[in-house]
Each structure stands twice: as structure tokens, then as C-alpha cells.
Amino acid sequence: MKRKWKFSHLYLFFVFFILYAPIFYLMYYSFNSGGNMREFEGFTLDWYKEVFQDTRLLIIVLNTLIIALLSSVISTIIGVIGALAIVYVKRRRIQNTLLTFNNVLIVSPDVIIGASFLILFTIIGVKLGFISVLLAHIAFSVPIVVIMVLPKLQEMSPTLLDAARDLGASRFEVLSKVVLPFIRPGIFAGFFMALTYSLDDFAVTFFVTGNGFSTLSVEIYSLARRGVSLKINALSTLIFMFTVLIVIGYYFISQRNSNKVKGVATGK
Amino acid sequence: MQTKSRNIYLVPYVLWILLFVVAPIVLVVYYSFFSIDNELTLENYKKFFTPVYLQMTVSSFWYAFLITLFSLVFSYPTAYLLTKLKHKQLWLLLIILPTWINLLLKAYAFLGIFGTYGTVNKFTEFLGLGTHQILFTDFSFVFVSVYIFIPFMILPIFNSLEELNPSLIYASRDLGASSWVTFKRVVFPLTLEGVKSGCQAVFIPALSLFMITRLIAGNRVITLGTAIEQHFLVTQDWGMGATIAVFLIIAMAVMMLITGTGKRGV
């Protein structure tokens, strides 16, 4: 029994090692004064200095964050509306049709989304740049939000709504005081998924971004295609630190929320 | 009253579907009938059925299959062992954390690790095995892709393992099944849904990994995704790119039908 325990931990250790090794590898060499990822010559912070002095890069980081936040907020709103639309359609067939259309963008390969949006934006005359990237990110985030919110809505017992209506709640009150609070975990999950997808997306953005506009992943791609540059390492270290901070914050918030829920539940 | 509220929610959502789901597909199909000189033609389809493109399609699917298979083999035990841990949600978070790092950065890391003078080669040299060309091979392409997709495979499997009712396992053990038989007959079949969605989450994106082929496989591996990118952004032959996209869409639809009926069956 004890040996088995050890073996399974060894396996997990191996998995975590594989998952994190490349990231720490990048971070390690970001302090290399040698300028390559072969030999560690000496400690330096020059690459970080270079990142912070590169105004263009900082603007790109800002663009990326703005696109991610804006697109996930808007797609969360549309996604919640979409989930409500699907739930309120009582006919099973229409519901399934809507869901199928919803899932098309989730299962589509990125290149197809990118290529087809490129055609779409060119035809309807959207200038490639900020707007086209934002629209594309909203478009591919909406179905993710719908998928995250829908189970919560279906979980909701109809008697809850009936009770609210019986007690005289208007349609808007039912929505804002009963439905939305109930599905809040789904909404948050959807929002964070949308945020993650937007920050991480490269392929779609690569297609619909014009010459003047760039997001971080597009910029990294063009830098990496030119070869190794420790500026990328420094940048990725910063991104990693930032991500870890967000995740820690998110973890504590969700932990506190679940404790609160538990407290309420036991209090009753 | 009720009908009214339905309409209100449907309007923006159906508009979104029409504009961003239906219209793009229609446009891709429409463009596939145009040659590079903007003439209406079936030439692109003829070209697709030449050995060059057919071979590319086959190899593209083969790579995607390999990537899915290796991710599954690696991820299932991981997900299973994770559910046994004490602070499993925290560990799961740590598994998901690397997906928050841009996949291009992770691919870029492998430029250093797999490079001619990189870490792996230094290690093999130290062992007396000499240096090898690792970068720009099929191996590096599959390895890096699997690396990138593992969390997306672990997550759905982990979720379906968590949903599994533990009393089923106790029952199986009580009835005298060994842990292996319990796994084979009870646990694995009941988590098949997670495996399926994991495979879906890996296979389809694996068809479109043009950036990894460009960075890591050095244009040695050409997938359908690479070809579409090439036609749209480099040669500007939108018609041919759209034709390849049409075939990818058909493949996708077939796959959705297969997994869709599976869900209804369960």
C-alpha cells in the first residue's frame, strides 16, 4: 500500500515537472547576460530593462488587456442572454438547434474561425485592427459563456420562479433577484473562461489583426520566428508572475465564497 | 407575457448566431468556388483531390490522432491520481495554471530546450549519446503539441471522475472485483464522457496548429491548418484556402454528429 502511494506521487511529480519545466526554463534564462538560452554566463536584469523601455511592447500589453477585459464583459452579457434564450425556448428541437449553432464556434479549429472572420470583416467593411480583433474575441467567447451558464439555469427549479412570481415579483425582479444570483457561479466561470481564451488566443487574432494593431501573442509569434531573444524570456517571466498573482487571488476569493455558502447552509 | 420575454432574449442571441456562425460558414463555402483571379470555378475542388492535398489531409489527421492519443495516455492517470489527493482543487488549479501562459511562449521555450546546443542535447552528450537534431522534426512537433494540450485533456476527465459516485466503487469492491477489474468495468466506462470531451478538445485544435508547425516543426510538418494560413495570409489565394476550410468543416461536422449521438445514448 505504501509503495503504491509513493509511485503515484512520483508520477504526479513527473507530470508537474513536465508542465512547469519549460516555464521555469524561460524564467531562468531571462536573467542570462549571455543573450542566448544555451549557456548561463552571468546574472543581469538588462532584459527586463529592455522590456520596460520598449514603449511599443507596453502598448501591445495594454491592448491585449483591454481587448480581453472588454470582450469578456460583452460576451458574458450576450452569453447570459443566449443561455436564457435557450432555456426559455420550450420546444426541444429548437433548443437543440440553437445549441448546435452555439457549439459550432467551440469545436471549430482556430484557423477556420480566423479565416472565415477575415472574409466576413472584409466583406462588411470592418477595418482590420482593434475593432475586428475585439469583435472576433467577443464572437468566440459567447458560446463558452453560454455553455458555462446553461447548466446552472437548467439546475434551477421552476418552483423557485413560480414562488417568486406568486410573491408578486415583476419579470425584471425575478431575473435580477432570483435568476441572476442563482446562476452567478456560472457567470463568473464563463467570464473567466472568456478572459483566458481571449488572453491566450493567437490564431484567430493573427488572421483578423491588421498591420497597425497587434496583441501580445501576435507580437511574441513574430519575435519568436526571428529566433531566440531573451526579451521574450523576461516578458514571459513577468506574465507568469502576473498570472500566478491573479490565480492566487481568484483561489482565495472562491474559497471565501464557498465558505460563506457553507456557513449559510449550516446556519439554516 | 411569456412569449414576449422569450423574444427579447432570442433577438440578440439569434442575431449573434446569424452574423458570427452562419454568415462566416456561408462565406467560406462561397469563396471556395472562386479562383485566385476571382473567377467562378470548381478548380479549387479539383486541386484538393490531387495527391498533394490528399496526402496533407491524411498526415494532418494522423498527427492530430497521435497527439490526442498521447495526451490521453498521459492525462488519464494524472486525472485519476489527482482525485485521490487531499487538496485536489488546488492541485488541479496548478495543472490549469500553465494554460494561462500563452502557448507561443511555451513553444518558444522548446526552441531553447530542443535546440542544437539546448538542454536535451547537452544531457544526451553528457550521457555519451551525442547530439541530435530534435528541433524541426515530427517528434518535437508531437511532443510540444501534447505538452500544450495535456491540461485540456486532464480537466474533463478529472471532472467526470469527480462526478463518479464512490458507492459504485465500494459496491464493485464488495462484490469481489479487484481494483483493476473495478477500474476497467466501472470507473473507465463511467468516465467515458469526460474522455470523449477531452479528445474533442484536443483533436480538433490539433488540426489547426499552424503556429507550432511553423515554430517547432520548421515547415517540415504541414497540416491543413498550416495550408489554410498559407493560402489566406501568404499567397492570398482565399479560394483554395476556403476549399480546404470547407473540408475541415465537413470533418468537424461528422465528428460532432458522432459525439452528439454518443451523448444522447448515455
CB contact under 8 A, A38 and B117: yes
Residues of B within 8 A of A98 (CB-CB) are 13-14, 17
Contact (Cβ atoms closer than 8 angstroms) between residue B62 and residue B70:
no
> Any CB–CB contact under 8 A between B120 and chain A?
no
- B202 has a chain A CB within 8 A of its CB: no
| Residue B107 and residue A224 in contact, taking contact as beta carbons nearer than 8 Å | yes
Give the closest of A11, A86, A228 to B111, CB-based: A228
**What residue in B sits closest to A243 (Cα-Cα)?**
B100
Question: Which single residue is written with the C-alpha cell 491585449?
Answer: A64
Mean pLDDT of all residues in chain B?
A: 84
* Interchain contact A126–B (C-beta under 8 A): no
B146 or B36, greater pLDDT: B146
B113 reaches A (C-beta below 8 A): yes
Residue among A62, A28, A12, A14 nearest A240 (CA): A28
DSSP for residue A126: P
Q: What is the end-to-end Cα distance of chain B in Å, rounded?
A: 36
Q: Is the pLDDT score of B10 beyond 70? A: yes
Position B261 scores a pLDDT of 46
Task: Determine whether B35 is exposed, middle or buried from the number of CB atoms within 10 Å of its CB (0-12, 13-18, 19+).
Answer: middle
Which percentage of chain B shows pLDDT scores above 90?
Answer: 26
User: For position B263, what pLDDT does the model report?
Assistant: 43
Interface test with B, best of A119, A155, A178 (most B CBs within 10 A): A119
Question: Among B7, B13, B111, B121, which would you mutate to test the A interface (most chain A Cβ atoms within 10 Å of its Cβ)?
Answer: B13
Give the mean pLDDT of B193-204: 86
Interface test with B, best of A19, A57, A89 (most B CBs within 10 A): A19
For B152-183, how does the pLDDT look when each residue is reduced to its tens digit (9 = 90+)? Answer: 899 999 999 988 888 888 888 888 888 888 88
Tens digits of pLDDT across chain A (268 residues)? 445 557 888 899 999 999 998 888 888 988 988 877 777 888 888 889 988 998 998 999 899 999 999 999 999 999 999 999 998 888 889 999 999 899 888 878 889 999 999 999 999 999 999 999 999 999 999 999 999 999 988 888 888 888 888 898 888 888 888 889 999 989 998 998 898 889 888 889 999 998 889 998 899 888 888 877 888 889 888 888 887 887 788 777 777 766 655 444 443 3
Q: pLDDT, tens digit, for every residue of B49-67?
A: 988 889 888 988 899 999 9
CB-nearest to A225 from B84, B106, B215 is B215
Question: What confidence category does residue B186 fall into, taking pLDDT thresholds of 50, 70 and 90?
Answer: confident
Residue in B closest to A115 by C-alpha: B232
Residue A39 has a pLDDT of 77
Closest partner residue to A88 among B9, B102, B260, by Cβ?
Answer: B9
Q: At what angle do helices B192-206 and B51-83 cross, to 10 degrees?
A: 140
Query: CB contact, 8 Å: B137 with chain A?
Result: no
The reply to whether A113 touches chain B by the CB within 8 Å rule is: yes
* Three-state secondary structure call for residue B34: strand
User: What's A201's DSSP letter?
Assistant: -
pTM: predicted TM-score of the whole model, two decimal places: 0.82
Determine whether the interchain pair B245/A105 forms a contact, defined as Cβ–Cβ distance below 8 Å.
Answer: no
Nearest one of A94, A143, A139, A22 to B20, comparing CA atoms: A139
pLDDT at B3 over 70: no
Q: Does B28 contact A at CB distance below 8 Å?
A: yes
DSSP-based three-state secondary structure for B40: strand
Q: Residues with Cβ < 8 Å from A83, sequence gap 6 or more?
A: A145, A146, A149, A150, A153, A183, A186
DSSP string, A26-94: HHHHTTBTTSSSS----B--HHHHHHHH-HHHHHHHHHHHHHHHHHHHHHHHHHHHHHHHHHH---HHH
Backbone Cα Rg of chain A? 23
Q: Which chain B residues are within 8 Å of A78, Cβ to Cβ?
A: 12-13, 16
Distance CA B218, CA B246 (A): 26
Which residues from B are below 8 Å from A25, CB to CB? 109, 112-113, 119
Confidence class for position B255, pLDDT limits 50, 70, 90:
confident
* CB-defined contacts A:B, below 8 A: 223
pLDDT at B98 (0 to 100) = 84
Whether B81 sits inside 8 A of A12 (CB atoms) is: yes
Between B19 and B98, residue with greater pLDDT: B19
**How long is chain B?**
266
pLDDT at A224: 84
Q: What number is the ipTM of this complex?
A: 0.80
% residues pLDDT > 70 (chain B): 94
Nearest CA in chain A to B223: A111
Q: Do A27 and A236 form a contact (C-beta atoms < 8 A)?
A: yes
Instruction: Tell me if chain A has a CB within 8 Å of the CB of B90.
Output: yes
